[in-house]
């Protein structure tokens, strides 16, 4: 029996939801997406140098012939802008370096959420949004109550939340 995803009407053979880990892995394998390929593409963008693609001086920029560019250099280019009238290239836009470098750093363990590499973190597995909502409620209660700190240092102890004035919270 075939399972169907009927998000757009029709029968209800299966409830729509996020794909399972196995489904994502299967799709990635079908598309030949591997961790190595993803890391390589991030490295192409993160470690690219504009000097490998163009030369410039007071007269302007001179783009190196595309036949002389490596696959890594071409992958680092986000956009090429040429004059409509002359066809002369006057701007090369490279991909942002920050996001790929941060992603690579996280992938190799250089960065951890809530701390620096090599430092222990105080992560108890709690949803960060829940923590923020609880802390905002604690601070609001402290302000409303004249500055008295709650007995529980984590701001817990009551099941009702103080109104926060933040959309989407109680």
| DSSP secondary structure, 33-47, as one string | --HHHHHHHHHHHHT
pLDDT tens digits along 75-134: 999 999 999 999 999 999 999 999 999 999 988 888 766 555 555 556 667 777 888 888
The two tokens of residue 17 are: 């939801």
Element (H, E) at 63: strand 60-63
Is 61 within the bounds of a domain?
yes
Same domain, residue pair 49 and 89:
yes
Same domain, residue pair 65 and 87:
yes
Whose structure tokens read 């990635």?
A: 28
Is 79 within the bounds of a domain?
yes
Whose structure tokens read 């750093």?
A: 105
Percentage of the chain modeled with pLDDT above 90: 42
* Total domains, the chain: 2
The two tokens of residue 28 are: 């990635």
The two tokens of residue 53 are: 């693609």
Same domain, residue pair 69 and 105:
yes
Contact by Cβ (8 Å): 5, 11: no
pTM beyond cutoff 0.95: no
Estimate the share of the chain in helix, then strand, then coil, as percent rounded to the nearest 5.
35, 15, 50
Specify the 3-state DSSP secondary structure of 128: helix
Of the candidates 111, 115, 91, which has an alpha carbon nearest to the alpha carbon of residue 99?
111
Asked if residue 1 has pLDDT above 70, the reply is: no
Q: How far apart are CA 95 and CA 77, in angstroms?
A: 6
Is 12 within the bounds of a domain?
no
Q: How far apart are CA 139 and CA 123, in angstroms?
A: 21
Higher pLDDT, 24 or 8: 24
Domain around 130: 126-170
pLDDT tens digits along 59-79: 888 999 999 999 999 999 999
Same domain, residue pair 25 and 102:
yes
Which residues are paired to 94 by β-bridges?
A: 77
What is the predicted pLDDT for the residue at 55?
A: 93
CB atoms within 10 A of CB 73: 18
Contact by Cβ (8 Å): 144, 134: no
Asked if residue 161 has pLDDT above 80, the reply is: no
Contact by Cβ (8 Å): 149, 142: yes
**Mean of per-residue pLDDT scores for the chain:** 78
Task: Please say which residue of 114, 134, 152 terminates a domain.
Answer: 114
């Amino acid at each position: 029996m075939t399972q169907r995803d009927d998000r757009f009407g029709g029968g209800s053979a299966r409830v729509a939801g996020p794909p399972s880990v196995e489904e994502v892995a299967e799709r990635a394998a079908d598309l030949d997406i591997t961790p190595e390929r993803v890391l390589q593409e991030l490295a192409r963008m993160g470690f690219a140098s504009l000097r490998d693609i163009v030369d410039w001086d007071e007269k302007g920029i001179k783009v190196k012939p595309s036949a002389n560019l490596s696959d890594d250099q071409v992958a680092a280019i986000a956009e090429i802008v040429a004059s409509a009238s002359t066809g002369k290239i006057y701007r090369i836009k490279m991909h942002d370096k920050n996001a790929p470098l941060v992603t690579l750093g996280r992938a190799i363990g250089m960065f951890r959420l809530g701390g620096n590499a090599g430092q222990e973190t105080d992560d108890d597995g709690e949803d960060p949004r829940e923590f923020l909502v609880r802390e905002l409620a604690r601070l609001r209660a402290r302000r409303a109550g004249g500055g008295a700190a709650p007995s529980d240092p984590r701001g817990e102890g009551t099941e009702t939340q103080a109104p926060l004035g933040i959309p989407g919270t109680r």
